[in-house]
Chains A and B, each alone.
Chain A
Amino acid sequence: MKNMLVDNFAIDQVEMRQAYCDALIDVARQNPYVLDIEADVQYSMGTKRFKEIFPERSINCGIMEAHAVGFCGGLSAMGYIPFFHAFGVFATRRAFDQVFLALAYQDMNVKIIGGDAGVTATTNGGTHMPFEDMGLMRLVPDMTVIEPADSAMYPYAVHYMANTYGNFYLRSCRRKVMKIYGDNVQFTIGRANTLTQGGDIAIIACGIMVYEALKAREILLKQGIEARVIDMHTVKPLDVECVKTAAMECGAIVTAENHNVKGGLGEAVCAGLAQEYPVPVELVGVNDMFGQVGDQSYLMKVYGLTAENIAEKAIRCLRRKTK
């Protein structure tokens, strides 16, 4: 297996929002139909530079997400490729009917970028902390749902979205995250990345939880357990083949997501497995709770999203496997 990982894990040099803005500028240079649509979070989400370079192609609607999504639908009907950028909660929860009917139902070509995924909303607290955005977007027919793990994956996803007709939801965070991937890694939307070998148990994660999964692997190794770590960056359509292979070869699975376990990656994996190759599964994620203020490490402990939580669930899952 080709090693995709960096040699030494460290905080990324590049903020996620900068990775997004750089990628958006790139695709806008290549494709004159790419537009940046905002709802008054251009400063927070880091796309000011896009506006400086393409003032005519960056449209700030003001604080009106419902209208902004509908507006994107109309632009798409005219052949444009709008990238709509807002906090995850407002891009999805507030504008759900608009995403459903003004975009997906009429086969538009709009890319929704939901920022401040889960606990990365930190001190903005419960009103701004999306634990349900992926679940909502998974329920929209034909919507592709992506959560990149780091700044290497992010530009790839932006280019893919710009070049692929259809509606996408990409959830991300704005600040620096742990760098996972080395240079020149190729990504395929809809195909998970198996990051480490391991046949005792598989840990399937997305977003910031990929790094936690890799740390959990180290904890488990000390106990003689070799975990396979999979980055399921495309939550919908799920790479069921990869999940099935992991189930057949490892016999037990832990999922890890910075999201409510209801409606998110864990349930998607369970649904895929139940139909293909049922094995014991444990779900790491937010257990049907609202967000709150706090720094990220505090919130990860509160909601049980740490590497230690993953390792604990892995051991529990292994016990069920051997029964």
Chain B
Amino acid sequence: MSLRAKLEYHAAQIRKLTITAIESAGYGHIGGSMSICDALAVLYCDIMKIDPLYPDKPDRDRLVMSKGHCGPALYATLAYKKYFPESLLTQLNRNGTSLPSHCDRLKTKGIDISTGSLGQGYSLAAGVAYGCRLKGYDNTCYCIVGDGELQEGQNWEAAQFVAHHNLSNLTLIVDNNKRQLDGYVQDICKQFDLAAKLKAFGLEVFEADGHDVLEIREALLAAKSSNKPNAVILDTQKGYGCCFSEIEGFNHYMVVTKEMADKARAEIDRRLQTP
């Protein structure tokens, strides 16, 4: 099996598990979860230095899902990597669950930082990366933000800080899926030239097709070997890879029935077998 086929297989499994989690809850943040599945597959199945059997290993790589509402995709990834049983995914948002809609480090094994209030994750990740550097760890901290989320000003405080302190062990990953809750970013508050903005703030910027696993991998490896603070912009599509969310105009969150989920999972398998 080629590396591409392997990573695409992992991504397909993570997508299906994400759909299962949201289906179990009845509704959820499907759009942004789908757009980040390929990156999560590459990160957790290839790039990141992690050990699910030793999840608290001090010098492990870390990931801050700043777009915390996409917890379901991260939970699916963690379950796929055996941080906890896949069956737990059906408990998403249940009363008393360990899998709440937004990532919670106190509740879920494998979650490094709690998130949900958009715009805060990059600062937390900067603290984690700074702490890793102080401790002399040879590791990387990843922070995933949405393009809509970058409207929050705190991201730009953090970017300036990260660049000034040369936190080259921190990679900002932008899930540039062009949409936010109320519609297209372009219509609500346009971002202008995102790469140029990040560069102007002092970051080295890499770009990739966010649904091409090898391109994602190449960009993340380039970022990892960079000696500068950096960002990877992933060109993604909100809802991608799930047949009902990729055609839906409003897919930030959706009601997901068993029938829809069955169809979507079958379609994911079909596409995987059809190069």
Interface residues in chain A, defined as those with a beta carbon under 8 Å from any beta carbon in chain B: 56, 59, 61-62, 64, 66-80, 97-98, 101-102, 105-107
Contacts and interface: CB of A to CB of B under 8 A. Distances in A.
23 contacts: A59-B130, A62-B164, A66-B153, A67-B126, A70-B124, A71-B127, A71-B130, A71-B158, A72-B127, A74-B123, A74-B125, A74-B131, A75-B128, A77-B127, A78-B130, A78-B134, A79-B135, A98-B120, A98-B123, A101-B116, A102-B124, A106-B105, A106-B106
A59 B127 CA distance: 11
Interface of B: 104-106, 112-114, 116-117, 120, 122-132, 134-135, 153-154, 157-158, 160-161, 164-165
B114 A64 contact: no
Chain A binding surface, main DSSP class: helix
Contacts of A68: 123
A69 B119 CA distance: 13
Contact of B158 (A67, A72, A80): A67
A77 B125 CA distance: 10
A75 B130 contact: yes
B127 A101 contact: no
A77 B124 contact: yes
Between A62, A71, A72, the greatest number of chain B beta carbons within 10 A of the residue's beta carbon is seen for A71
Contact of A66 (B114, B129, B154): B154
A76 B127 contact: yes
Contact of B123 (A67, A106, A107): A67
Contact of A77 (B113, B116, B120, B165): B113
B134 A64 contact: no
Contacts of A72: 127
Chain B binding surface, main DSSP class: helix
Between A61, A62, A71, A74, the greatest number of chain B beta carbons within 10 A of the residue's beta carbon is seen for A74
A62 B113 CA distance: 24
A77 B112 contact: yes
Contacts of B154: 64, 66-67, 70, 98
B123 A62 contact: no
A73 B131 contact: no
A70 B161 CA distance: 12
Contacts of B128: 74-75, 77-78
A70 B117 CA distance: 11
B265 to A, nearest CB: 33
A66 B161 CA distance: 12
B120 A70 contact: yes
A74 B120 contact: no
Given A66-B154, A105-B114, A106-B114, A73 B135 contact: no
Contacts of B114: 101, 105-106
Given A64-B161, A78-B131, A78-B132, A71 B123 contact: yes
A74 B115 CA distance: 12
A30 B206 CA distance: 43
Contacts of A79: 131, 135
A147 B259 CA distance: 59
A78 B127 CA distance: 8
B131 A70 contact: no
5 A-B pairs closest in CB distance: A74-B127, A78-B131, A70-B123, A67-B157, A64-B157
A69 to B, nearest CB: 8
A74 B124 contact: yes
A245 to B, nearest CB: 37
Contacts of A76: 127
Contacts of A106: 104-106, 113-114
